[in-house]
Each structure stands twice: as structure tokens, then as C-alpha cells.
Amino acid sequence: MSDLGLRLTVDGPVARVVLDRPEVRNAQTPAMWAALSDFGASLSGDVRVVVVSGEGQSFSAGLDRNLMMGEPVDGQEPLLTLGKKPDPELQELISHFQAGFSWLRRPEIISIAAVQGHAVGAGFQLALACDLRVITPDAKFSMREPALGLVPDLGGTQPLVQLVGYSRALEICVTSRWVEADEALQLGLANIVVPGEELAGTVKDLSEAVLSPLVGAVRETKALLLGAADRSYDEQLTAEREAQTRRLKELIAQFG
């Protein structure tokens, strides 16, 4: 995938997604999103952790500027020309774009974003697609889409509201302002801020900690937490009972 600006690897239970276009601050393209979707669909059940990072000084500066400005990139269609398509065709296309991000929220994997430097627009949404975010002191987030007359459409709006609340999420989006590392930690956008030289080691330690519990327990717990906001308290209690029943049955089958 190096020609697309991605390095995608699997090492036992850990898969890695590296955005590898440092010369343009890891700007993204729809071809990259398609490749990410395919990579997610190809992962075996043995993969339990996915680490997403960016090569160089930035995590991702968002959609490639040339595509934003109406120039094709490697034969890919500029953004604004997409608006000429019929509504059903355009919405199906956006659905394919979203699939490059949404798989990171599947219950069977824990996804970790390692963020340094800029995480802008699509870069911010890619970090939000992950379950956990480890960032460096120079990390800064911005949802640039509204400033360009667009909306965030890669799945970032729901996790942003879940993390910081509606009012703060609205303010961050419609102002397109920068959220720097200290504020990101305070708001809950980041799990931890570490020096740049400790980023890789911290992500490795976190990955190992996530791998310690039995896979079924992690899967069921993530599913419970992901759905909690959409359930009533009684519905959540029911979901917990059902999940625990499945776990106990699986443990008996596994350990007798």
C-alpha cells in the first residue's frame, strides 16, 4: 500500500495502520479510505488491537489539499465535483468513505490512535474513530470541515459528542478552532499526553495491557459501553445480564 501512502501490517494480535505521506503531513485521499476499509475487512479474528499512527511530524492534516482545491490526485475525483452526482449515488459514495473509519469501532478490536502534531478534519475524525488516543504535547486537533462549507462526514460527530458533550462539540466544530494537547486531555479527547520520545513505548504498553484480559471479556465490555448511551438504564441492565450469560457459558466451554 506504499503507493497509496499507507503501511498496513499485522503482527500476531496487533495490526498497525501507518499514514505514510509525511511530505504532505499525511494528507488523506479516498483511495486511502478504500484501502483502510479493505484492510479492516481482511483482519482475522486473532487481531485484538489496531494501532493507528502517522509518519513524520503530523498525524494527519486531513483531506489532501489538492482534492479540496479542485485538482485530481492520482486520478481521484476532486471533492467539489462530487456534488454534481445524483443524491443516491453521492450518499453511497460517502458511505464507502465512512467505511474506512467505522471498522475501528468494532467490538472485537480495541483501536489506539498515536497522535503527534496536526490532526485536522479527516485526521481528527480518524483519531476519533479509535477507542483510545495517546498524544504528544505538540498535538492539536481541528474540525476544519465547517470552515470549508462542509460537515464532518467520516463518523466523527458521534464520538466527539460522546467524549466532550453536545455544547462543546458544537463549539469545536463550528469555530474550527484548535484544541491543543492540554485541553484535549482536560476534555477527554486524549487518554494521556506523553513526550514525543515516549509515544511509541506508551502505545506498546497500552496495547499489552489491553491484550491481558480474555478476548471475550474485552469484546463484550466494549459492546456494552458503545451501546450504553442509546439504552435506558433498564435496557443496559438487560444487556449486561445477556453479556454476562454469554461470558459464563463461553468460560465453561473453554475451561470446563
In this prediction, residue 69 carries a pLDDT of: 64
Task: Give pTM, 2 decimals.
Answer: 0.94
Task: Answer whether 63's CB lies under 8 Å from 124's CB.
Answer: no
Q: How many CA atoms lie within 13 A of 103 on its CB side?
A: 23
Q: Which of 40-56 are b and which e, b meaning 16 or more Cβ less than 10 Å from the residue's Cβ?
A: beebeeebbbbbbbbbe
Q: Where are the domains of the chain?
A: 2-211, 215-255
DSSP per-residue codes, 126-150: HHHHSSEEEE-TT-EEE--GGGGT-
Q: Can you give the pLDDT at residue 1?
A: 59
Here the cell at position 45 is 479474528
pLDDT for residue 73: 67
Q: What is the pLDDT of residue 66?
A: 77
Q: In the CATH scheme, what is the code of domain 2-211? A: 3.90.226.10
Question: What Å distances lie between residue 221 and 35, 110, 177, CA to CA?
Answer: 28, 11, 34
Angle at the Cα of 9 from the Cα atoms of 3 and 11, rounded to 5 degrees: 165
> How many CA atoms lie within 13 Å of 113's alpha carbon, on the beta-carbon side?
30
Distance set, CA 143 to CA 16, 51, 79, 95, 123 (Å): 24, 22, 17, 19, 9
Integer Cα distance of 158 and 218 in angstroms: 22
Amino acid at 44: S
All residue ranges of the chain with pLDDT < 50 are: none
Give CA–CA dist 163/154, Å, rounded: 16
* Residue 180 bridge partners (DSSP): 140
Model confidence pLDDT, tens digit, residues 27-46: 999 999 999 999 999 999 99
Amino acid 256: pLDDT = 77
Q: CB-based contacts of 246: which residues, under 8 Å, 6+ apart? A: 216, 220
CA 16 remoteness from chain centre:
13
Query: 62, 124 in Cβ contact below 8 A?
Result: yes
Tell me phi and psi for residue 179, to 5 degrees. Answer: -110, 110
